[in-house]
A and B are shown apart, each in its own frame.
Chain A
Amino acid sequence: MRNLIDIMDLSTEEIEELIALAEDIIANPERYQEVCRRKKLATLFFEPSTRTRLSFEAAMLDLGGSVLGFSEASSSSATKGESVGDTVTVVSGYADIIAMRHPKEGAPLVASMRASVPVINAGDGSHNHPTQTLADLLTIHREKGRLDHMTVGLCGDLKFGRTVHSLIAAMSRYAGVDFVLISPEELKLPSYVKETYIKNKGIPYTQTTDLQSVMSKLDVLYMTRVQQERFFNEEDYLRLRDSYILTPDKLKDAKKDMIVMHPLPRVNEISTAVDDDPRAAYFRQTRNGKFIRMALIMKLLGLDKKEG
């Protein structure tokens, strides 16, 4: 593994290794404090994403490394018309590893073709966001103790939600997983995602518009935001909006050990009253994001084998 552009670049064995390393970092953070000493991470964020950038920077700092970079295109040479390829060629001379967020789909792949250091895709438009999926997988593993044999419900905007598509792709490789797809008609999972990762693999799935009717079956409920701008008319949005807002009352039907996940930021799709429920895993999920990014940085720098 040299770059991480798409979650499917990783084999299930590599994902297992990353999860094991992240678990060890969580258990023994002091052993990793100096692992990346004198190493530099460049965070090239051509569009703002405070959460992901801070997570990457915190990950590198916790490994004893340093960070440099920019947080929006206006403070980069992209405003002067410099290509992505040229930018990363230059940055390869300054940093040991690059995390890139870019509004154009495929920009990190282009970067990885030109860079002489590892490139991590930190989100390219509405296309891929593999470190979010790694954070999701670590969360499921930590909370449930496994990644196989479970019913995963995905709720909300399944059409445009890139985190949903990547999670389905990643989870489709584990035995005994079945999916429950909960969304309004307008925001159903795109057929190519369904065919590639669910139907063609013979994975059982249920498709519904009614969250409550399937709540009791779920081991994982992955919530996403239903955005008003995705609807053709306001009437439809108002009709459907409330049915996808998770409240303590709706959780009454859920299993006692179900977990609620969300890539965040949330707006109103999970009531704040749910936060105190032990099943609410979304803030733990963001913390896991930092730990899995630490593991990934170590692995891409070839530093994972020296520890332990």
Chain B
Amino acid sequence: MRVDSVKQGIVIDHITAGKSMQIYQMLGLDALECTVAILKNVPSHRMGRKDIIKIDTDLDLDLDVLGYISPTITVDVIRNGTVAEKKHIELPEKLTDIIKCKNPRCITTTEQEIHHIFRLTNREKREYRCIYCDAKAKE
């Protein structure tokens, strides 16, 4: 299968296989007018299988979201058909309104219009806890 290479835009590569739709939705890519290609289960030496998203326009991405969903991700910014910039992805210290707290006793379940904020409490275990109730984040 062939997908044309991006001339001006962004390639999100090395996405854990199966996670591309989640990223597509979280980044709000459905609202874009440009061409967006989602490649699933692409053979990869390093990962066995991976997903790739190609976006045919240059836009500001929320890298925090990407780092949280799949830490293996690489982001290449393409200009004039070549890689102009490689963005480094790290597990973010804080997640705001990306996931919701599932603890029924947490104030976020009743208080309207408050931000759902999680902080990174263990980088090795990729563990996040709600800043309000300290409950561990569950996907």
Contact of B105 among A83, A84, A126, A192 (CB under 8 A): A126
Q: Are B132 and A109 in contact (CB under 8 A)?
A: yes
CB distance from B136 to the nearest CB of A (A): 8
Distance A26 CA – B86 CA, assembled complex (angstroms): 63
Nearest-neighbor residue (CB-CB) of A78 within chain B: B110
Q: Are A83 and B132 in contact (CB under 8 A)?
A: no
Asked if A104 is at the interface of the complex by the 8 Å CB criterion, the answer is: yes
Contact of A104 among B106, B131, B136 (CB under 8 A): B106
Q: Are B105 and A105 in contact (CB under 8 A)?
A: yes
Asked if B112 is at the interface of the complex by the 8 Å CB criterion, the answer is: yes
Contact of B130 among A83, A84, A106 (CB under 8 A): A106
CB distance from B78 to the nearest CB of A (A): 41
Q: For this complex, into which size category does the number of interface residues on chain B fall? A: 10 to 19
Asked if B111 is at the interface of the complex by the 8 Å CB criterion, the answer is: yes
Mark out the residues of chain B between 112 and 139 whose CB falls within 8 Å of any chain A CB in the assembled complex: 112-114, 121, 130-136
Q: Are A104 and B114 in contact (CB under 8 A)?
A: no
> How many residues of A are in contact with the other chain, CB < 8 A?
17
- List the A side residues contacting B134 at CB < 8 Å: 105, 127
In terms of DSSP, what is the predominant structure of the interface of chain A?
mixed
Distance A192 CA – B105 CA, assembled complex (angstroms): 19
- List the B side residues contacting A105 at CB < 8 Å: 103, 105-107, 132-135
Q: Are A127 and B133 in contact (CB under 8 A)?
A: yes
Report A82-98 CB contacts with B as 1/0, cut-off 8 Å: 01110000000000000
Report A270-300 CB contacts with B as 1/0, cut-off 8 Å: 0000000000000000000000000000000
Asked if B22 is at the interface of the complex by the 8 Å CB criterion, the answer is: no
Q: Which residues of B contact A (CB under 8 A)?
A: 103, 105-114, 121, 130-136
A and B contact pairs by CB, cutoff 8 A, 11 listed = A84-B111, A102-B107, A104-B105, A104-B107, A105-B105, A105-B134, A105-B135, A107-B132, A110-B107, A110-B114, A127-B133
